[in-house]
């Protein structure tokens, strides 16, 4: 609220008065279906538009895991990513996605990385004969997803240019190189296709990696995409989750998932906004919530939180 007043020399002054509302613990407010949420100051901004249309000079990577490629806008997404990696059997999925060699040739990944227990021989040979680099990493103490995430960091650190791929030892060379990189480089947006909603151990491993990303792969900001959802980490603090392009996420169902441990949450822009709300996997969890903010919603959390947002393909197909 702004108050204007004049002093005795007739100069106009204004003062802003902020009303700070404090809510009781575990409060829920039910909102209308579409509400305006003001842009906050000093929040971490998570821009959902960059998932389908990454900012071009920005470092980014697409990782295809060994699950069928189910997102409907896959070909558009493909065009937007600079570095494309198939994790082991993920290359079979990319190969099988196309029915003609002509289309396959126009969609070559940069690398195929893994222990190669699932990569079919014919697929390996075909991609190698078209110039795709394959990097065998046979260690059974890291998953192919681990190896790919580490590789993305060493690639953008510049190590891969200065090092012939053949010189990476084929047991755990990527992990060894990764241990040498700078901890704080520039941010890299990574979109991971698959890894969630198939085998349960893989799913939990994927969530575990997400929760450990700031420790293990601090330069990466990762989004998992499945046929139904976008899943990513909301870091501790105040966050503004924004979607300015054609309101692509307004109306989507979402879940605030305390998978890293108990959290206390306050939100603005959800159908059921929570205030000072204690959430834990053994206690209350806000699932089947809905985004009602017209172009953003806010989450304040005292610890990292996993967020899932349902994908509405009618809306996201508007992304060019």
**Sites of contact with ligand VIB (CB under 6 A):** 115, 140-144
Interacting residues with ligand ATP between 183 and 202 (CB under 6 A): 194-195, 198-199, 202
**Burial tier of 57 (Cβ tally within 10 Å: 0-12, 13-18, 19+):** exposed
Q: What is the crossing angle of helices 90-97 and 121-129, to 10°?
A: 70
Residue 140 binding result from ligand ATP, ligand VIB, none, given CB thresholds of 5 to 8 Å by partner type? ligand VIB
Question: Nearest Cα to 142, choosing from 83, 217, 222, 219?
Answer: 217
User: Which residues touch 77 (CB under 8 Å, ≥6 apart)?
Assistant: 52, 62, 71, 191
What sign does the dihedral 121-123-126-132 (CA atoms) show? negative
67 binds ligand ATP (CB under 6 A): yes
**Min CB(134)–ligand ATP separation in Å:** 13
Q: Which does 67 bind (CB under 5 to 8 A by kind): ligand ATP, ligand VIB, none?
A: ligand ATP
141 binds, among ligand ATP, ligand VIB, none (CB under 5 to 8 A by kind): ligand VIB
The footprint of ligand ATP on this chain (CB under 6 A) covers a number of residues equal to 20
Q: Among 54, 89, 109, 173, indicate the residue that binds ligand ATP (CB under 6 A).
A: 89
**Which pairing describes strands 296-301 and 263-268: parallel, antiparallel, or unpaired?**
antiparallel
The reply to whether 143 sits near ligand ATP by the rule CB under 6 A is yes
Residues 6+ apart with CB under 8 A from 73: 52, 313, 316, 317, 319
Measured from the CB of residue 142, what is the shortest distance to ligand VIB in angstroms? 6
Q: CB-wise, 145 or 292, nearer to ligand VIB?
A: 145
Cβ-closest residue to ligand VIB?
Answer: 140
Q: Does residue 92 bind ligand ATP (CB under 6 A)?
A: no
Q: Does 134 bind ligand ATP (CB under 6 A)?
A: no
Q: How far is CA 48 from CA 113, 194, 232, 242, 255, in A?
A: 28, 18, 10, 6, 16
Judged by the rule CB under 6 A, the positions of this chain that interact with ligand ATP are: 65-67, 87-90, 114-115, 117-118, 143-145, 194-195, 198-199, 202-203
């Amino acid at each position: 609220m702004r108050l204007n007043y004049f002093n005795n020399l007739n100069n106009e002054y204004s003062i802003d008065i902020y009303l700070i509302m404090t809510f009781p613990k575990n409060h829920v407010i039910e909102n209308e279906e579409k509400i305006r949420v003001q842009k906050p100051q000093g929040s971490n901004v998570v821009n959902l538009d960059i998932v389908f249309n990454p900012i071009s000079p920005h470092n980014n990577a697409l990782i295809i895991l060994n699950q069928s490629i189910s997102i409907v806008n896959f070909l558009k997404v493909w065009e937007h990513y600079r570095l494309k990696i198939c994790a082991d059997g993920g290359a079979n999925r990319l190969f099988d996605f196309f029915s003609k060699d002509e289309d396959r040739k126009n969609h070559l990944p940069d690398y195929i990385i893994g222990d190669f227990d699932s990569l079919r021989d014919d697929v390996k040979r075909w991609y190698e004969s078209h110039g795709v680099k394959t990097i065998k990493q046979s260690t059974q103490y890291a998953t192919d997803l681990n190896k790919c995430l580490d590789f993305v960091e060493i690639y953008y650190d510049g190590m891969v240019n200065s090092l012939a791929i053949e010189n990476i030892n084929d047991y755990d060379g990527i992990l060894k190189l990764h241990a040498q990189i700078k901890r704080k480089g520039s941010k890299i947006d990574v979109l991971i296709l698959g890894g969630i909603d198939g085998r349960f151990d893989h799913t939990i491993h994927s969530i575990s990696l997400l929760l450990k990303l700031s420790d293990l792969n601090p330069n990466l900001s990762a989004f998992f995409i499945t046929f139904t959802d976008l899943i990513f980490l909301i870091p501790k603090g105040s966050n503004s989750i924004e979607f300015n392009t054609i309101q692509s996420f307004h109306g989507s169902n979402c879940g605030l998932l305390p998978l890293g441990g108990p959290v206390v949450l306050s939100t603005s822009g959800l159908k059921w906004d929570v205030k000072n709300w204690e959430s834990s996997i053994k206690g209350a969890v806000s699932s089947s919530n809905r985004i009602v903010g017209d172009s953003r919603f806010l989450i304040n959390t005292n610890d990292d939180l996993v967020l899932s947002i349902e994908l509405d393909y009618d809306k996201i197909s508007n992304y060019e």
